[in-house]
Amino acid sequence: MANLYTATPFAPEVQRSLDSPDPQAAFAGIALGCPVHRGPDGSLSVVRLEDVAALCRDPEVPGPGANGPTMGGKRPLPPLDLDGPEHTRFRRLLDPLLTPKALARREAPLVKLTDELIDGFFARGEADLVEVFCQPLPSIFFARLMGLPERDLPEFLDFKDKILGHFPEALAKTLTYPERLQITRAASDRCYTFLGALLDAREARGPGAEGDLIDALLGAEADGRKLTREELLDLCYLLVIGGLDTTASALACLLARLARTPDLRARLSAEPALWGSAIEELLRYESPVQRGMRTARTELSVGGETIPAGTTFFVSWAAANLDEAGVEGALTLDPARKPNPHVAFGSGFHKCLGAHLARLELRVGLERLHARLPDYTLADEAQLTFKGQPRVVSGLRLRWKV
């Protein structure tokens, strides 16, 4: 099995298509092929919606931490890297903090922040929306929700990019795998040190009036006991890396699609009540997080194909979301689609912890942006580029009338 850090789960010509602005037909084609796709480097990917959903509900298929800590963690990161009762223990602690009801009181501050950001660039008539909107909106909002000092946000974003391997393209081409690991470990060490000092300061200060996530974790109990120092650090580390990355990527992916689909924008302007279902459909169609990892504890049979015991493999959220056998008219972008059985937030036991938070940020961000900018175009010189996992967009330069 290829090292999953560098594995390319699809043939090179398919991968080039997947890195294009419109990879949907390629993913749909993969889902129509063999239920277990074999990459040229030996990697395996389960690609059909029914199979992906079944495997992610199977207690004999551990999650992404089966082979050790993910995302540069010093220890298995709870709950992402845990399975069974330990996973459940931490989900019971964290899930209530991020329900739609718990987040409802955060919507008004999010609307205010969104409007302030739009005010900052609206008069220009042109801007790179990744730089002025897609990255700062979820990052600033999450920093406030978590309780991170906003002055230190650039440093946390630097930690996140290095830990997840988001390097400038020119640098990425020159780095060897050991060099990447060295950069990741150094950034992880710095992040843990920073979080340790922050927790020390917060414990000394006592609970604040704002009731942020750090306050909640410091006062939390799991199965009748307080969290240990290591558990607090690992939870904060996971929340910071996840909270500062995927929603920004998703917001850029969805906005890039809307920028190239004026008829959909016109319909949403005429029927703003559709924004909720439109977000779900855009997530299904774009799949900003394209894949996850699972491990076969025992031998698995998937659509007549065998995955040997002990094999670590990919589940392709993107191919599953475009599987015609699981989603009727999968290549049609329907903002009113209901039901919408997508797996853009993952599936099963390890479904994304922050899914409701991401939905709130995406809905408010896109609805408020299009209330102010209902009609815009890609600037003539814009060159949309899509790379990586999660799918990162650059070149999203838009132009509008002021």
Kindly report the number of other CB atoms within 10 A of residue 250's CB atom: 28
Beta strands in 223-338 (DSSP E): 225-226, 291-295, 300-302, 305-307, 312-316
339: preceding bond cis by omega (within 30 degrees): yes
β-bridge pairing 312-316 and 44-46: parallel
pLDDT at position 8, please?
A: 57
pLDDT at position 382, please?
A: 77
Question: pLDDT tens track of the chain, all 402 residues?
Answer: 334 444 556 666 666 667 788 999 989 999 998 999 988 878 899 999 999 999 999 999 999 999 889 999 999 999 999 999 999 999 999 999 999 999 999 999 999 999 999 999 999 999 999 999 999 999 999 999 999 999 999 999 999 999 988 888 788 888 888 888 899 999 999 999 999 999 999 988 877 766 899 999 999 888 888 999 999 999 999 999 999 989 999 999 999 999 999 999 999 989 999 999 999 999 999 999 999 999 999 999 999 999 999 999 999 999 999 999 999 999 999 999 999 999 999 999 999 999 999 999 999 999 999 999 999 999 987 789 888 778 889 999 999 999
Considering only the C-alpha atoms of the chain, give the largest distance between any 2 of them, rounded to a whole number of Å: 61
Q: Identify the three-state secondary structure at position 357.
A: helix
pTM for the model stands at: 0.93
**Domains of the chain and CATH, by start:** 12-400 (1.10.630.10)
CA–chain centroid gap for 314, Å, is 16
* Helix, strand, coil percent values for the chain (each to nearest 5): 55, 10, 35
| Spatial distance between the Cα atoms of 30 and 37, rounded to a whole number of angstroms | 8
Residue 15, CA distances (Å) to 284, 316, 386, 392 in order: 19, 13, 12, 15
| Spatial distance between the Cα atoms of 141 and 397, rounded to a whole number of angstroms | 23
pLDDT at position 189, please?
A: 96
Residue 119, CA distances (Å) to 109, 129, 234, 373, 377 in order: 15, 13, 37, 11, 19
